[in-house]
Amino acid sequence: MKILVINCGSSSLKYQLLEMDGEHALASGLVERIGESEGKVSHQNHSDATGGQFIVYEKPISDHRSAMNEAVGRLTAPGTGVIASHSEIAAVGHRVVHGGEYFQKPARVDQNVLKAIQQTIPLAPLHNPANLMGIKVAQELFPHAPQVAVFDTAFHQTIPAFAYHYALPWSYYEQMGVRRYGFHGTSHQYVAREAAARLGRPLSDVNLITAHLGSGASICAIEKGVSVDTSMGMTPLGGLIMGTRGGNLDPGVIMYIAEQKGMSLPEINAVLQKESGLKGICGMNDLRDIHAAADKGDARSRLALDMFVYRCRQYIGAYFFQLGRVDSLVFTAGIGENDPAIRESCCRGMASLGLTVDPLRNRNPEKYRGEITAAGSPVRAYVIPTNEELEIARQTADVVKGKS
């Protein structure tokens, strides 16, 4: 069964075609700068038969329909394509950022699902319209294939009310849906499943803390396989310190900035989205650059690293306490998978909680099936590369087969 996974942004379209028998990617790609004078297409074949080629070219891509056509063209190109015809695609799985309170699990797209995604647009004004566009274009291009929407928020719908409510006037929740939703659900769910497999226990039996640390970052508390808390809030601005987002903030700061600088809400939003976080502190948002500068003695870069780790530890500590028993702490995404120094700092001094990282394993987790804790550490820590596309494809396959 071949499943096409689509992640549609406002001016980009990411795709991956997966063969579910054996769960491997056949091809993937990215169409960027949709609607601009010169678009960019990057496509990679993963199958051995086509030699893993990487193709990059520029051409105008007028809209998302053209972008999807371009992707299909590459997938089916005579000689280099991985499929003969788009009719081989059995189903299309779409990443949808916000499912509000409508979706606790993935959904096969029908008129009601489209309406609910539409109604959730105010909660994700940048993302949901693009995700909807992707679904509509795919419906046109693949009329034979079921479309499935997989939501970033769905995994967190199990968080209890006392954890997801904000202490604000009740009507804001009832009338506008103001509450915490959480994001990166597909990633947390994927690594949780993998961690349970490595522990050799059913997912429904394990308590985990999963740390998705990439340019966007969130930590999730998982009890008996389901999310019971996560660091992001109503929007992906909350929680941890990220590349360009500062995470949790005293709300009074926003009013103070508005008054002092005479800034409008859109201007403040732009600062909170793009100029804050690590970049706000030290001018850089890539951890590799920040480590290099800190090693050369740059005090602000050192401070940014310390702040990043401190905030991670606040959540890890809170979730340890909340869960009571933790089987495993899991690191994933760009920083979680590649930065031993951050992992080591996040876990320092936790022996009394049952977690001891082995420095050698932490530097080479791939040699130890991802496990970075010392032998005998009651709480295990793992580095598990995330694979959101595979998780979306798995959930899509389950919906199509009627398992979800």
Report, in Å, the least distance between residue 309 CB and ligand ADP.
13
| Selected binder of ligand ADP within 50, 269, 338, 404 (CB under 6 A) | 338
H helix or E strand, kind and range, residue 179: none
Minimum gap (Å) between residue 72 Cβ and ligand ADP: 24
Please state the separation of Cα 261 from the chain's center in Å: 34
Distance CA 183, CA 152 (A): 5
Instruction: Residue 174: count other Cβ atoms within 10 Å of its Cβ.
Output: 9
In DSSP terms, 332 is beta-bridged to 212
Task: Give the length of the chain.
Answer: 404
**Which positions from 16 to 55 touch ligand ADP by CB under 6 A, shown as an x/- string?**
----------------------------------------
The residue (of 75 and 242) whose beta carbon lies closer to ligand ADP is: 242
Instruction: Scan residues 196-255 and list those touching ligand ADP (CB under 6 A).
Output: 214-216, 243
Range 280-299, binding ligand ADP (CB under 6 A): 286-288
Contact with ligand ADP (CB under 6 A): which of 339, 371, 389, 391? 339
Question: CA 66 to CA 60: how far, in whole Å?
Answer: 9
Q: Per DSSP, which regions of 291-373 are E strands?
A: 328-332
Residue in 353, 352, 328, 329 with CA at minimum distance from that of residue 342: 329
Is 152 labeled as catalytic in the residue annotation?
yes
- 53: tokens are 């080629």
- Closer of 29 and 225 to ligand ADP (Cβ): 29
Q: How far is CA 61 from CA 14, 43, 66, in A?
A: 14, 15, 6
> Which residue number, 228 or 393, has a Cβ lying nearer to ligand ADP?
393
Q: Which is nearer to ligand ADP, 104 or 338 (CB)?
A: 338
Q: Which of 3, 281, 330, 333 binds ligand ADP (CB under 6 A)?
A: 333
Look at residues 161, 167, 159, 165 and name the one whose alpha carbon lies nearest to residue 188: 159
3-class DSSP state for residue 147? strand
Quick one: 147 or 332, whose CB is closer to ligand ADP?
332
- Per the CB < 8 A criterion, the answer to whether 207 and 196 are in contact is no
Minimum CB separation of residue 286 from ligand ADP in Å reads 4
CB closer to ligand ADP out of 293 and 323: 293
Least Cβ distance, residue 67 to ligand ADP (angstroms) = 20
Two tokens at 109? 């797209």
- Among all residues, whose Cβ is closest to ligand ADP? 334
Instruction: Name the β-bridge partners of 27.
Output: 17, 45
Taking CB under 6 A as the criterion, the residue among 335, 383, 390, 392 binding ligand ADP is 335
For ligand ADP, which stretch binds (CB under 6 A), given 63-71, 117-125, 159-167, 335-343? 335-343
Shortest spacing between CB 334 and ligand ADP, in angstroms: 2
For the CB of residue 395, give the shortest distance to ligand ADP in the complex, in Å: 19
Pairwise CA distance, residues 95 & 91, whole Å: 13
Q: How far apart are CA 49 and CA 318, in angstroms?
A: 49
DSSP state of 227: E
The window from 52-60, 118-126, 332-340, 360-368 that contacts ligand ADP (CB under 6 A) reads 332-340
| Element holding 222 (H helix, E strand) | strand 217-223
Report the nearest approach of ligand ADP to the CB of residue 40 (Å): 17
Residues 6+ apart with CB under 8 A from 201: 327
Q: How many residues lie near ligand ADP (CB under 6 A)?
A: 12
Catalytic residue among 110, 152, 205, 286: 152
Instruction: Give contact residues for ligand ADP (rule: CB under 6 A).
Output: 214-216, 243, 286-288, 333-335, 338-339
Active site amino acids:
152
